Amino acid sequence: MTLKRVVVTGLGALTPIGNTVRQFWDGLKNGTSGAAPITRFDASLYKTRFACEVKDFDIGNYMDRKEARKMDPFAQYAMVVADEAIRDSGLDLNKVDPDRAGVIWGSGIGGLLTFQEEVKLYARGDGTPRFNPFFIPKMIPDLSAGHISIRYGFRGPNFATVSACASSTNAIYDAFTYLRLGKADIIVTGGSEAAVCEAGVGGFNALRALSERNDSPETASRPYDKDRDGFVLGEGAGALILEEYEHARRRGAKIYAEVLGGGMSADAYHITAPHPDGAGIIRVMYNALEDANISAEEVDYINTHGTSTPLGDLGEIRAIQHVFGEHAYNMNISSTKSMTGHLLGAAGAIESIACLMAINEHIVPPTINHFTADPELDPRLNLTFNKAQEREVNVALSNTFGFGGHNFSILFKKVG
């Protein structure tokens, strides 16, 4: 069969450095750090006392508070960005075939805050099982997709992807696949996460995954720096409207870029550590290039997974050099997690948006907080340190990897 072309026609973002796509992009271009002391709870006894929280956000400005109370923050965030993306797409919902419109959404953890609070309430009680009737619907990761579909009446493909920190790239790739197979005309996709809570910070601290640079939160996320000591936990959401190309063209839609293809692979190695030889990362990028039917030399920019961990950063860069060879020195490479922190299951969505904005505005966002060169990294690589750089970006690649060895890559290309 002939596969259909798929394009991006709408975007929505809620991040630690901006609550709309434009604010988010301005934050990236300006090298803004979203890290600060935690305000959600008293973190004074935690090893890590800072995070990249969403700021100046009041759900009452976006939806009825009574309805909002039925949702965990990760689902609230999803609703906000889906609304921005649909408005941005210019879709006339009265002209959308609801049976050909779907929602595929990613979250690595789902309603962690809800789970934490319900268990705390139960533990403080007398043993009588009293739970909020919305406990389960607020907690399970698929409810974001469900809420979005209910709000807009979309009756097409509808499910959630859970692949840890690769969840939203997983969702985008699945949405792309369903569209190119002709199973839908429009799919709202992306991801959301809200894990900045006692259980989230405490759990990642126990794994020794988080930076403990409490004296300088704004510089704690420092991918590729010699002194990186772990990632900074973030929260938020990103949404993309993916649309079959002819459907978008007929309605005169604004097109950000075409989704060229993607790749999937597994490390099959360890529950949290990356494969020491980068085998899964190498394979996922090869798979993406093959799926997109392009050469490595056509890629201009890679938005890396780049979490600011000693092993992960090094392994990904070495994998990039393996796949791209000499062309690796001609590309721009950057980790926007240096600014947003790590949004876990939502990371791939906001990083895909960063790629799309780079294509449209000819600017590569930086990797901030680079102070000391890592002698194990090739100095000839352009890791876009500390300042955004202007360049023509025709093809951009976004990498995301998750605990369990889940790897996803997605490729976007400028249209005509």
Active-site amino acid positions? 165, 305, 342
Give the orientation angle of helix 347-361 with respect to helix 167-180, to 10 degrees.
70
What's the alpha-carbon Rg for the chain, to the nearest Å? 20
Residue length of the chain: 416
Comparing CA positions, the residue from 295, 292, 319, 291 lying closest to residue 305 is 319
7, 248 contact by CB (below 8 A): yes
Looking at residue 415, the DSSP 8-state letter turns out to be -
* Alpha-carbon 403 to chain mean position: 15
Looking at residue 2, the DSSP 8-state letter turns out to be P
Do the strands 236-244 and 6-14 form a parallel or antiparallel pair, or are they unpaired? antiparallel
Looking at residue 274, the DSSP 8-state letter turns out to be P
262, 288 contact by CB (below 8 A): yes
Token couple for 59: 């759900």
Token couple for 257: 């870029």
DSSP bridge partners of 363: 390
Give the orientation angle of helix 21-29 with respect to helix 347-361, to 10 degrees.
70
DSSP bridge partners of 52: 234
